[in-house]
Amino acid sequence: MSSWSFRARLVLSFATAALLPLTVIAIFSSSLVRSAFQRDAAARVAQAGSLLDGQLTRDGVELRDKLEALAEDYALREKLYQYAEKGRRKRAVQTELINWLEKARKERGLPLVQLTAADGTIVASGHEKARFDQMDPRTVELAARFSRAPVLALEQGVKVKGLALKVAVDAGEGDSRLVLSGGLLINEEFLRRLPVALPDVLVVLMPDGSLLASPTPEGATVRAALAAESAALSTAEADWVAARLRRSGYLVESVASRVQQLDPVRVYLATSSRPLESILRELNLIFLALVGVGVALAWLSGLVLSRPVTTQVDGLVAAIDRVASGDLGARVAVARDDDLGRVARAFNTMAGDLAENKEKLLAAERLAAWQEIARRLAHEIKNPLSPIQLSIETLRKCYQTGRSDFPEIMAESTTTILEEVARLRRIVQEFSDFARLPSPRLIDSDMNEVIRGVVSLYAGLDPRFTIDTDLASSGSRFVFDPDQMNRVFVNLVKNAVEAMPDGGEVHISSRRDGDYFAVTVADSGAGVSPEARARLFEPYATTKTGGTGLGLAIVHRIVSEHQGSIALDPSWTRGAAFVVTLSTGLAASEADA
C-alpha cells in the first residue's frame, strides 16, 4: 500500500504538471474572450446611442424647419389674423383653421401639429380635430423653456398618447400670435427607421412608468418580463430596469441622450450574453478534452517513467516491513548505482547490524534471565535448608545428651525435614516445568468446554466457595492448545481460591470480540497491591506464604506463546480479575512450527 501510494504520488505529480498549465490557459482564454465580447458589446452600445441621438437630432431639425415654414405660410397667417378679429365668424374661422391645419399636416409630413394660445388654450389640432378649446399648459411651457429646440416630452392627447419628439415656434403677430407645435411619436415605427440595427434590445422607460422596447420577438419577451416586474416592484427604484435585464442575462448600458427633455425618460441598450456563454461553453468543452488527453498522457508517462523508481522503493518498503515484523534476515537487491542504490546498500548494512546486535542482546538477556532465576532459585532452596539443618542439629544434641523425650523430638524433627524436602521437590518440579514447557499443540477446540472442565474440578470441594460462569453463546471454537489452556485456568482458579481463605465467589466469563476471544477469572478476595502488580508475571515473584512464584509466570508464557495477552482488569474493584485475550486467527498448521 505504501509503495503504491508513493507511485500514485509520482504519477499525480506528472498529471498536476500537465494540468496546471492547461488550467491557466483555459482561465486566461476565457477571460480574454469575455473581455473582447464585453468591449465589442460596449462599442455597439456606444454606436447605437450615438445613432439614436443623431436620429433624434435630425428629426428635430427637420421638424423645426417644417414648423417654421408652416408658420410663415401666408394662408396660415391670414387665417390667424381672421381668428384674432372679434366677431360672430370666429367659430367658423376656427373650424376652417382646424381643417386647414389637418390638410397641411398631411401635406408637410407632420405627424403631430397644434396651435395653442398664450394662456394654454388649444385653438386647433391637426392630428386630433376634436381637441380644441381645451387647456394644454405644457405646450406653452415647452415654447417658453425650449423655443425652437427639439425636446422629448409626453404627448397627452385624447387618442394620441406617448413619448414624442416636439418643437414649438411662434406663429402670427400681435394679437394673432400663437404657439405652433409639432412632433413625432417615439414608438416602434420610429425604432424601425434607425439607420442600422441596434443591440439586441432597446428599452425606453417613460415618465409615467410605461415601457417601449425594440419591435422584435426578443424585445416583446423583454417588454412582457419588465411589465410583470413593474407590477411587482416599485418602478421608482433607481435602475430597476437595468437590474432586471442583467438578471435575464444581458449586458446593459444606460444611454444619456443629448436631446433635451421636458419629461425625464431613461433609455437602455442591452446586448444578450447568450452568445458569450455559448462560446465559453464550447471553449470549456475544448479545454476539458485537452485536459483529459493531457492528464491521460501525463498519467501514462508517469507510470512508465516512475516504474524503475517505484520497483526499487517497493522492494525497500517490503524489506522494511519484514524487518519491522522481526525478520532481520531481509535484504534488498541493489540494482542501481544512484541515490536509491545507496539507500538500499545502507539498509542492508543496517539490517545486518541489527541482526548481529539482536543475537548479542538475546544472549545477554538470556544470561541475565537465567542468572536472576538462579539467584531466586538459590534463595528458594536456601529457605527449606535452614529448618532441615536446625532439625538435624537438634536431633544430634538430644541424642548425645540422652534426653528422655528424644522419641517425641525425633518425630517432630523428621516431620519438619520431610515437609521441607517435599517443598524442595515441588520447587524443583515447577522449575523443571517452567524450563521445559513444550510448544503449544494447536488444534480446533472449544474454549467454553475447557472452562467447564476446570469448573467441574472445583465444584463442591468446599462449601465456602462458589464458582459461577457467564460464557459466550457462540464463537468459542477456534484453534488453541486445550491442555495448556486447561493448565492456565486451573492455575488462575487455584490462585483465586487461595486469595479467599475465609471463602468467597469466583466468577468466570467469556466473550467473542471480532478476531479475539477473552476469558475473565475474577474473585472477591483482597486484590493485588500496586507494588505487586509491577512484578506479577515475573518468575519467583509471589506474595503467598509457601508459594514458588512460578504459577503466573507459566500462565503468562503459555498465553504469550498463543499470541495472546493476560492482564489485570483495573475496573474490577471487589478483588482481582485476570483477563486472558487470545487471537482466534491461529492456524492448526502452526502446531508444527
Looking at residue 273, its pLDDT comes to 67
What does the angle CA 370 – CA 435 – CA 328 come to, to the nearest 5 degrees?
70
pLDDT, greater one: 535 or 135: 135
Per-residue model confidence as pLDDT tens digits over 427-465? 666 666 655 567 788 999 999 999 998 888 887 677 888
What's phi and psi for 404, nearest 5 deg? -70, -30
Domain at 72-153+165-181, CATH class: alpha beta
Confidence class of residue 378 from pLDDT cuts 50, 70 and 90? Answer: low
Is residue 407 over pLDDT 70?
Answer: yes
Residue 470, C-alpha cell as written in the block: 457467564
pLDDT, greater one: 394 or 18: 394
Helix (H, G, I), strand (E, B) or coil at 373: helix
Taking residues 383-395, report their average pLDDT.
77
pLDDT, greater one: 591 or 197: 197
Looking at residue 234, its pLDDT comes to 47
Nearest one of 348, 343, 349 to 332, comparing CA atoms:
348
What's phi and psi for 204, nearest 5 deg? -115, 120
- HEC readout, 7-44: HHHHHHHHHHHHHHHHHHHHHHHHHHHHHHHHHHHHHH
Which residues in 392-407 are b (16+ Cβ under 10 Å) and which e?
eeebeebeeeeeeeee
Taking residues 138-159, report their average pLDDT.
86
CA dihedral of residues 302, 306, 311, 312 (deg, nearest 10): -160
Per-residue model confidence as pLDDT tens digits over 517-527? 999 999 998 88
Looking at residue 263, its pLDDT comes to 78
Per-residue model confidence as pLDDT tens digits over 201-212? 667 766 666 666
> In Å, what is the CA distance from 445 to each residue of 344, 510, 515, 582?
46, 15, 16, 13
Confidence class of residue 196 from pLDDT cuts 50, 70 and 90? Answer: low
Confidence class of residue 591 from pLDDT cuts 50, 70 and 90? Answer: very low
Looking at residue 590, its pLDDT comes to 47
pLDDT, greater one: 497 or 22: 497
Instruction: Tell me what percent of the residues of the chain surpass a pLDDT of 90.
Output: 16
Is residue 40 over pLDDT 70?
Answer: yes
Which of 75-89, 120-134, 565-579 is predicted least confidently?
Answer: 75-89
pLDDT, greater one: 363 or 2: 363
Please classify residue 240 by burial: count the beta carbons closer than 10 Å to its beta carbon, then call 0-12 exposed, 13-18 middle and 19+ buried. middle
In this structure, the number of other CB atoms found within 10 A of the CB of residue 75 comes to: 11
Q: Say how far apart CA 267 and CA 56 lie, in whole Å.
A: 13
Which of 36-40, 198-202, 587-591 is predicted least confidently?
Answer: 587-591
Q: Are 153 and 139 spatial neighbours (Cβ–Cβ below 8 Å)?
A: no
Looking at residue 516, its pLDDT comes to 93
Query: The whole model's pTM is what?
Result: 0.44
Which of 191-195, 347-351, 485-489, 514-518 is predicted least confidently?
Answer: 191-195
In sequence order, the β-bridge partners of residue 513 are 516
Q: For the chain, state the CA radius of gyration.
A: 57
Name the DSSP letter for residue 580. Answer: E
Name the DSSP letter for residue 438. Answer: P
Looking at residue 100, its pLDDT comes to 93
Looking at residue 513, its pLDDT comes to 92
Looking at residue 509, its pLDDT comes to 94
Q: Say how far apart CA 521 and CA 494 lie, in whole Å.
A: 11
Looking at residue 84, its pLDDT comes to 78
pLDDT, greater one: 522 or 403: 522
What does the angle CA 548 – CA 553 – CA 558 come to, to the nearest 5 degrees?
135
Per-residue model confidence as pLDDT tens digits over 216-261? 666 666 766 676 665 554 444 557 777 777 777 777 777 777 788 8
What's phi and psi for 73, nearest 5 deg? -65, 130
In this structure, the number of other CB atoms found within 10 A of the CB of residue 125 comes to: 25
Nearest one of 210, 256, 65, 265 to 150, comparing CA atoms:
65
The CATH number of 438-592 is 3.30.565.10
The CATH number of 339-434 is 1.10.287
Q: Mean pLDDT of all residues in the chain?
A: 78
Looking at residue 443, its pLDDT comes to 92
| Domain 72-153+165-181 and domain 438-592 have a common topology | no
Q: Say how far apart CA 263 and CA 158 lie, in whole Å.
A: 19
Q: Are 442 and 485 spatial neighbours (Cβ–Cβ below 8 Å)?
A: no
Give residue limits of the domains in the chain.
2-50+274-318, 72-153+165-181, 339-434, 438-592
pLDDT, greater one: 195 or 47: 47
Most confident of 66-70, 82-86, 169-173, 189-193: 66-70
Taking residues 328-352, report their average pLDDT.
73
Which of 186-190, 273-277, 443-447 is predicted least confidently?
Answer: 273-277
Q: Are 485 and 443 spatial neighbours (Cβ–Cβ below 8 Å)?
A: no
Looking at residue 235, its pLDDT comes to 45
